[in-house]
Amino acid sequence: MSIISQIEQSENTQEAIQIIEKLFEHNYTTIQLITNPHQILDNLFVRSTYPKTWIAEYLLNNYLKIDPIFNHITKTKEAVLWSDVPLTPESILLFDKAEKFGIGHSGYSFIHKDAVGIGSILSLNSNMEYNDWVSYIEVVKPTFEAVLPALHNKITKEFYSSSTKNPQLTSREKECLHYSSIGKSNSEVAMILSISEHTVRSYIKTIRYKLDCVTITQAVAKSIRLKII
């Protein structure tokens, strides 16, 4: 069975990227769906094989804002070898922190846009040395360029299926919900996120409205049941 057929027959996007990792030699695979280019930070749907601890660290600290690869590829709309992207001191610190979670510095990101304008980014990550990684990418690039449309279709269907079932919270709302779920008060959440307590209360109110809950405790319980957090 071809890899495209395996992806098409997989139950979900997570299973699809896990199939990829069994067939290829890189360490991690991530696909990000961008459904609204004007609300990228709050409207990102991601499936990844990165360690869950790193995914949580990344999301809770809003690293997407300083992610040089993501920012470069969304601006240029072109595939890129990570080592070709200029790094700021801030992004160097981000890569150094990622390395502590087992994330390699070698990476490559593909980009795809469908007929209705919805985009997706497929990123491969590895601990390979530069020369080995460049050689590896040259070999696998045609395969992944062929595979990406199938992966894009998979994650797009999953996104719109989940959108009809689960309330969609923004990244900031999820942060507030996360800290509330571990017992932080509104004032503590405000300090952690460097926003006002009034803003936190507004987020909490919106969260309760979206989840159709009277209290934040009910909202936390429902969000865990729906796998929102």
**What predicted TM-score, i.e. pTM, was given to this entire model?**
0.71
Residues in the chain: 229
Taking residues 90-98, report their average pLDDT. Answer: 93
Q: What stretch of H or E contains 223?
A: helix 216-225
| 61 SS3 class | coil
Q: Is the pLDDT of residue 136 over 90?
A: yes
Q: Which domains does the chain have, with CATH numbers?
A: 3-165 (3.30.450.80), 171-225 (1.10.10.10)
Asked if 34 contacts 119 with a C-beta cutoff of 8 angstroms, the reply is yes
Looking at residue 38, its pLDDT comes to 47
Asked if 225 contacts 214 with a C-beta cutoff of 8 angstroms, the reply is no
Taking residues 17-23, report their average pLDDT. Answer: 93
Q: Which stretches within 166-212 are classed as H helix?
A: 171-181, 186-193, 197-211
Q: What is the mean pLDDT of the chain?
A: 88
CA distance 229 to 177: 8
Q: Is the pLDDT of residue 162 over 70?
A: no
Looking at residue 39, its pLDDT comes to 46
The values of phi and psi at residue 142, to 5°, are: -60, -35
CA distance 187 to 196: 8
Q: Is the pLDDT of residue 163 over 60?
A: no
CA distance 41 to 39: 6
Q: Which residues contact 113 (CB under 8 A, 6 or more apart)?
A: 77, 119, 120
The values of phi and psi at residue 150, to 5°, are: -65, -40
Looking at residue 111, its pLDDT comes to 95
Rg (CA), the chain: 19
Taking residues 132-138, report their average pLDDT. Answer: 98
Q: Is the pLDDT of residue 123 over 90?
A: yes
Looking at residue 225, its pLDDT comes to 74
Asked if 138 contacts 120 with a C-beta cutoff of 8 angstroms, the reply is no
**What counts of helices (H) and strands (E) characterise the chain?**
10, 5
* Per-residue model confidence as pLDDT tens digits over 189-207: 999 999 999 999 989 988 8
